[in-house]
Amino acid sequence: MSTLRHPNIVQFLGVAFFPGSRLPAIVMERLLTSLHDLLEPQRPPPRSSKPFIPLSLKCSILHDVACGLAYLHERSVVHRDLTANNVLLNSGMVAKIADLGVARILPDLAPATLTFAPGASVYMPPEALESKPGEENEGRMSKYDASIDIFSFGVVAMFTISQTFPYKLLAPTYTKDGENPVGRSELERRQEYMTIVNSQLEGKHPLLVEIIEKCLDFPGKRPDVKKVLDLLVEARKEVQDEQISKNKLDLVQALREAHISHQENENQLQSSLKEQEALKEKNEKSLETIREKRQQILEENQLVQNKDRELTETLEKLRQKEEQLQTSEREKQRVQQQLTRKEAELTRNEAEVTRKEAEVTRKEAELTRAEETIRREQQQIQEMRQRETELVQAKDRETALLQQQLGVKLMSVADKKNEMPHTQDMVQEKNKERDSLQQCLKRKERQLKTSFVFHFFIPISLALLLHVLLCINPVSIA
């Protein structure tokens, strides 16, 4: 396969190995579509109508297939599976034969006993479908040669020309006809094929019918691929000539129709010229009438212009008055806006006065409460001063009493001092403490004069301290 190089054989590019797979993959050129998909597109039901393909393109595709098949047969290669699905097309509608996986090499293309042909049965000749009845390897081996590809090519040609594919196939039964097995149902199949082709071609292109008939004939009567190529060249030329003739006839018909149309246009033109002459005379009369009307219209226009000037002056006066009215209206609106602003400002001032009156009332109430509070505080201060006076008097009495007691104690201490000289130092210390207490007492008295709190608590504290000191001194002296 790698040695085959032909424009009508799918090119072998190489072998690829994919990760995780030990089997190689064949890499071949990528083409656009297959002949089967071109002739019978796969669409979901309901299937639309089949595409129109010119007969000349069909002949070109069959010629490409025959060229590729001839190249294979020259190298003693039998394809064995030539179908419409194995004919691929590129974007230029050049056909290439693909799928050579079941091809075999037959030396000199001589008949050979091979395994049962693996291709689709509708493309297979009867000799490739089954072995002869009674043979030892019946059902497994068949004896056939390169003519198997010619039969398959005939089915491909039938399908290509008619775009109708016979999917049903009767089981073949065989009789003896010389060395070739002949199936009665196979004859019916050939008749069915040819009926389809003849209905499509409608009795035209006998060469194409002849090619298909010969390719579908018995093995010994089938032509070789070179003969098929020669017949295809003639058929292709016949189709092209017919297309050219058809184009010429279409061109002549188009010219005839164009000539008739030209004559009709000439007649219409003559009629139009006569109508134009009549219209010209009518237009001249109309022009004179138009000139008179034009003069009248000019005079009327002059009057209208005068009226327009008067109307313009009147409109100008009205416009001036309207402007004055608009100015007065704007002035009125401005004054109205000022009045509105003044009223709004007066309303705000009244609200402000009301708010301030409420605030004055509130402050007067607060002032009354403050005066009441001051009065109560003054009474409390008088009561505090009175108590302070009473406390000062009580303190003076206690101080006098303490001084009396202190004098008595001092006299007692002097007596004790004479009696007990060894306690003189202790008495001096006590005297110092007494002097310190007297200074503290004087300092506290000054503070008591400046503060009611100090006047109230400090004398009591000093009295308690003196009492404690007087209570402690006799014990210490003893």
Could you tell me the two tokens for 327? Answer: 């100015």
| Predicted confidence band of residue 110 (pLDDT cuts 50, 70, 90) | very low
The DSSP secondary structure of 113-154, one letter per residue, reads EEEPP-S-GGGS-HHHHSPPTT-TTTTTEEEE-THHHHHHHH
158 burial type by CB count under 10 A (0-12 exposed, 13-18 middle, 19+ buried) = buried
Question: Counting every residue, how long is the chain?
Answer: 478
Residue 115 pairs in a beta bridge with 141
Class of domain 12-223 (CATH, top level): mainly alpha
Distance CA 406, CA 411 (A): 9
Question: Which has more pLDDT, 384 or 122?
Answer: 384
Which residue, chain included where needed, has tokens 């297939």? 65
pLDDT digits (tens, 9 = 90+) for 237-262: 888 877 787 777 777 788 888 878 88
Nearest Cα residue to 231 out of 7, 39, 8, 62: 62
Whole-number pLDDT of residue 366? 86
Domain boundaries, the chain: 12-223, 385-477
pTM for the model: 0.48
Please tell me what DSSP assigns to residue 43. Answer: -
Question: Which has more pLDDT, 126 or 389?
Answer: 389
Please tell me what DSSP assigns to residue 13. Answer: E
Statement: residue 137 has pLDDT above 50? no
pLDDT digits (tens, 9 = 90+) for 28-50: 889 999 998 888 776 544 444 56
Whole-number pLDDT of residue 420? 59
Residue 77 pairs in a beta bridge with 105
Distance CA 128, CA 438 (A): 154
Phi and psi torsions of 242, nearest 5°: -65, -40
Q: What angle do CA 463, 467, 471 make, to 5 degrees?
A: 170
Cis-peptide, bond into residue 19, ω within 30° of zero = no
pLDDT digits (tens, 9 = 90+) for 155-213: 899 888 887 765 443 334 334 443 444 444 555 656 666 666 666 665 567 888 888 88
Q: What angle do CA 262, 267, 272 make, to 5 degrees?
A: 120
Question: Which has more pLDDT, 116 or 279?
Answer: 279
Measured CA to CA in angstroms, residue 413 lies from 360, 404, 471, 475 at distances of: 74, 14, 14, 12
